[in-house]
Structure 1
Amino acid sequence: MAEQAAATGGGERHVLRRALAPLTSAATVRAGVYLVIGGVLAGAYVTLATGFVQMFADPTTPRAAVAVLAVVTGAIVCTPPFLAPVRALEIAAVRTFLDVDAPDLPDLSGALSVATRWRAAAWFALHLTLGGLVTLGLLVAVPLATQLALSAAGIDRAFLVQLSPALARHPAAWAALAVVALLAVPYLATLARHLLRQAAVPLLGPDQTARIAELEARADRLAERGRLARELHDSVGHALTITTLQAAAAARQLETDPAAARRSLAAVEETGRAAMADLDHVLGLLRGADGPDGADGSARGAGRGPRAPARTLADLPALVDDARRAGADVHLTADDGVLDGGDGAVPRVVAHEAYRVVQEALTNAVRHAPGSPVTVHLRRPRPTVLVLEAANPFPGAGERSTTGGRGLPGMAERVRFVGGELTAGPDGGTWVVRASFGW
């Protein structure tokens, strides 16, 4: 029973705190400031409208001139609610004064839609209407409460006698009415704040078109992040594999064949330089350094000098040489014109993705089947088709997992990115990676 009584008492205190919150909350003050601003603007509109009504009512005023002036003035004062800067200002004010996280998704076309402008104008009208009501209540309540308090203190009771002779005989009732009049203002502001918070996102938030555009832009950003992750995985992973093999070879040959050890260490250095160039390219993309001249790799990153251009099929011979220096037996063949980048060359984006596929295939071959010969063949069966095939003997190919790593999924994503197809898996005792690109 004691616990139940304590719970009941706690619930009553919670209800009391909620009931008194508008009187003590800073949110009420912020909302009141925002509403008074709207009330002041509403007062200006009302004053302007009243002035024109009076001019029309005056028979000595030229009606035609007043009508033209009214139309021009109406067009001027009704334009701001439809303007993008006014909407942006309202959104900032809503976040500050009403504690509403109103999203402001930019229109990718660079201009607000007609529906968005009309919704912003509806919000402006709602702000001014509620602000005018709260401001009017404030202007009525404060003088009324002041007069009631003075009457309760015995000063100037004529006001209460005119208002209600019965009240004139009960000073305590005057004081209670003064308190009620003052307390009505924060509760009215709280009600207006609730209505504005409910309407903020529907009227100031993005429309369906902007939301869809933002979702598409977010998907593009995620796809770009995935592409950069694949770049890092392929370039750095290949460099680490080759470097590990070369370093191991240098350690074995250091005593017996110092010249071969030095060659292995030189290959480690060269592989590291190539990996740094690839890393610099990816970091340049992450910094958003692709300016008007970024397509050819001449844009400059933040304090790092010119970025290395993206690898293409023309870089395959150097890639194969690196693998050979690491001890891999690699044979590269290609149809005429595939690697030279001349007239009728493979498009740059396709050439880059094809290079990365070959790089990852060589890395996997060196890692999973060290010492096995690897054949890489590129052919152009048609002017708009490129087919590459990388194969290496692998006795355990039938049991080799095609899942669990990032290499094969990364290659498949690369090929799909340019509209191609990739297959990878065992073919008898050989592991075969085959990719087909079309454009």
Structure 2
Amino acid sequence: MTVRALTGALLGRTARLRWVHLVLGGALLMPFWLVAALVALPLMGGGPTLSSSSVAVQFGAYALALPLAAVAGLFPLMRPLSVAMARSLCGVEGAQFAEGPARGPAARRRSAAWFTLHVGVGGILSGAMLALPPFAVAVMLLPVEGVREWLRLPASLQRTWVYALGPLAGLAMLLALAACATAAGALLARCAPVLLGPTPADRLAAVEARAAELAVRNRLARELHDSVGHALSAVTLQASAARRLLDRDPDFVREALTAIEDTTRRTVGELDAVLGLLREGDESAKAPAPTLADDLPGLLDRTRATGTPVTVTLGIEAAALPGLVSREAYRIVQEGLGNALRHAPGTPVDLRITPYGDELEIVMENPLPSDTGSGRTRPGGGHGLRGIADRARLLGGNASAGPRNGPDGDRWRLAVRLPLMTDGAR
């Protein structure tokens, strides 16, 4: 079992992939080594070519090549290239690596350190893998007379016991090379998550991207909830009223069916626009953005068509409102009317939209239904008031909702205040 485990560690799939990773590091070092050799040859008095120069000259070129590799590692795109190789060949879980180009000086320095380590260790091991195996095989063949003549052993080594130990010595060299390569691969695998992992800046960028994605999803969810929820409530009540008066009041039925047609057509258009934002590559889609100036009368007419009386006090010109405030105020009014239709159908609604200093105040009241069962929240519901509060808070305003005791009985009251900001404000 120990021999099998040792063999797997030295020659298993993970070890072999890490060997390939080391060889790639050596290949990446070659351009820098050749450039450095142009400096090392004249300075250190090497031969006419690098291959004919001394070992000291070649290692001098190696030492000069590492700083050049470190400079190349500072480029932002070097990190994704290094991550791709390390993820495939080092046997490290991919989630431990950072995504995308290096951001900021700290990430670039870590990427440069990794690239220098990779090519430095890979260059040494690649050279050993090229030079040592042929020599080790030759040593293993020392008992063969022709091989001894080819090696030209010194007289002190021309002994029978040396020839007998040749196979063992050659095998030991190959095992030592495999052990060194395995250890170097394990070292790189341990260092990879540290040097190629996400920095604090990367984590912050990922959190910001996630927050932006959630904000978009929440906004789309609010749009769908407010638009579709109000439309379904209105259509349900209109259809119910039309069914009850089908034989007695054909004119009302005709009016209710017209309102249903108008409501569904408009809602389908808004739904298609919202879903268009979710379609990848659909750049032509735009988010539905009805405003008080565009559709407040239509919204009130569709609500009244359900048989719910709505009284409106409009103390400000809707067209004079900033676009962002007008859009959010429309959705708030739409959700408030939708809640009244769902939980207190047929009860009169009093709506006031008036200025309050430098704010827009929206107040909506309706009597609480005597049948408490009609006021229960539908299954899966309860998000409307939260959405209203979110809309108000995002604009710097506030919202409150709840039952209120008054001289004319118990009433449900929704009150929202929105700052009258400019279009460019957020």
Query: The TM-score by the shorter chain falls in which range?
Result: 0.7 to 0.9
Measure, in 2, the Cα distance between the counterparts of 1:40 and 1:163.
39
Measure, in 1, the Cα distance between the counterparts of 2:65 and 2:117.
21
The residue number in structure 2 matching 1:421 is: 398
Aligned residue among 411, 415, 422 for 1:430: 411
Measure, in 1, the Cα distance between the counterparts of 2:399 and 2:159.
92
Aligned residue among 70, 76, 79 for 1:84: 76
Answer yes or no: is the 8 Å Cα contact 1:389–1:433 preserved in 2. Answer: yes
Change (3 A) 1:163 1:178: farther
User: Which amino acid is 2:116 matched to?
Assistant: A
Change (3 A) 1:255 1:395: closer
Cα offsets for 1:271-291 (capped at 9, x unmatched)? 101111221232233347796
Change (3 A) 1:167 1:200: farther
Answer yes or no: is the 8 Å Cα contact 1:377–1:388 preserved in 2. Answer: yes
- Please show how residues 195-274 of structure 1 align to structure 2 within 5 Å: 195-274=187-266
The residue number in structure 1 matching 2:359 is: 385
Answer yes or no: is the 8 Å Cα contact 2:350–2:365 preserved in 1. Answer: yes
User: Which amino acid is 2:173 matched to?
Assistant: A
Deviates more, 1:136-145 or 1:219-228: 136-145
SS of the residue 1:126 aligns to: helix
Measure, in 1, the Cα distance between the counterparts of 2:138 and 2:277.
71
Measure, in 2, the Cα distance between the counterparts of 1:230 and 1:246.
24
Answer yes or no: is the 8 Å Cα contact 1:388–1:436 preserved in 2. Answer: yes
Answer yes or no: is the 8 Å Cα contact 2:71–2:112 preserved in 1. Answer: no
Cα offsets for 1:15-55 (capped at 9, x unmatched)? 55543223442332222122112223435544544553331
Answer yes or no: is the 8 Å Cα contact 1:242–1:326 preserved in 2. Answer: yes
Measure, in 2, the Cα distance between the counterparts of 1:104 and 1:271.
49
User: Which amino acid is 1:149 matched to?
Assistant: M
Aligned residue among 21, 28, 31 for 2:15: 28
The residue number in structure 2 matching 1:6 is: none
The residue number in structure 1 matching 2:303 is: 323
The residue number in structure 2 matching 1:313 is: 292
Deviation at 1:229, TM superposition (A): 0.8
Measure, in 2, the Cα distance between the counterparts of 1:391 and 1:289.
43
Answer yes or no: is the 8 Å Cα contact 2:103–2:201 preserved in 1. Answer: no
- Give the TM-score, by structure 2 length: 0.81
Measure, in 2, the Cα distance between the counterparts of 1:280 and 1:116.
43
Measure, in 1, the Cα distance between the counterparts of 2:141 and 2:155.
14
Cα offsets for 1:409-435 (capped at 9, x unmatched)? 121112112111110000010000000
Deviates more, 1:46-55 or 1:274-283: 46-55
Measure, in 1, the Cα distance between the counterparts of 2:218 and 2:155.
76
Measure, in 2, the Cα distance between the counterparts of 1:197 and 1:163.
45
User: Which amino acid is 1:361 matched to?
Assistant: G
Answer yes or no: is the 8 Å Cα contact 2:36–2:65 preserved in 1. Answer: no
Is 1:121 the counterpart of 2:112? The answer is yes
Q: Aligned-residue CA RMSD in angstroms?
A: 3.4
Answer yes or no: is the 8 Å Cα contact 1:106–1:210 preserved in 2. Answer: no
Matched length = 394
Measure, in 2, the Cα distance between the counterparts of 1:165 and 1:57.
33
Measure, in 1, the Cα distance between the counterparts of 2:79 and 2:227.
47
Deviation at 1:398, TM superposition (A): 9.4
Measure, in 1, the Cα distance between the counterparts of 2:68 and 2:129.
29
Deviation at 1:152, TM superposition (A): 4.3
Change (3 A) 1:186 1:266: farther
Measure, in 2, the Cα distance between the counterparts of 1:166 and 1:58.
35
Change (3 A) 1:153 1:268: farther
Measure, in 2, the Cα distance between the counterparts of 1:35 and 1:73.
17
Cα offsets for 1:334-390 (capped at 9, x unmatched)? 1131x2x1xxx32222222211111111111111111110011001122x3100001
Measure, in 2, the Cα distance between the counterparts of 1:196 and 1:78.
16
User: Which amino acid is 2:366 matched to?
Assistant: N
Residue identity (%):
38
Measure, in 2, the Cα distance between the counterparts of 1:33 and 1:133.
14
Answer yes or no: is the 8 Å Cα contact 2:352–2:364 preserved in 1. Answer: yes
User: Which amino acid is 1:201 matched to?
Assistant: P
Measure, in 2, the Cα distance between the counterparts of 1:58 and 1:166.
35
Answer yes or no: is the 8 Å Cα contact 1:161–1:168 preserved in 2. Answer: no
Change (3 A) 1:92 1:289: closer
Cα offsets for 1:245-300 (capped at 9, x unmatched)? 11122222333333332322221111101111221232233347796xxxxxxxx2
Measure, in 2, the Cα distance between the counterparts of 1:289 and 1:134.
47
SS of the residue 1:28 aligns to: helix
Is 1:369 the counterpart of 2:348? The answer is no
Change (3 A) 1:166 1:251: farther
Q: Which segments of 5 or more consecutive residues in structure 1 lack a partner in the other structure?
A: 1-12, 62-69, 292-299, 302-306
Measure, in 2, the Cα distance between the counterparts of 1:398 and 1:248.
20
The residue number in structure 2 matching 1:360 is: 335
- Give the TM-score, by structure 1 length: 0.79
- Please show how residues 15-164 of structure 1 align to structure 2 within 5 Å: 17-58=4-45, 79-100=71-92, 101=94, 103-106=97-100, 112-152=103-143, 155-157=146-148, 162=154
Change (3 A) 1:381 1:201: same
Change (3 A) 1:371 1:401: closer
SS of the residue 1:371 aligns to: coil
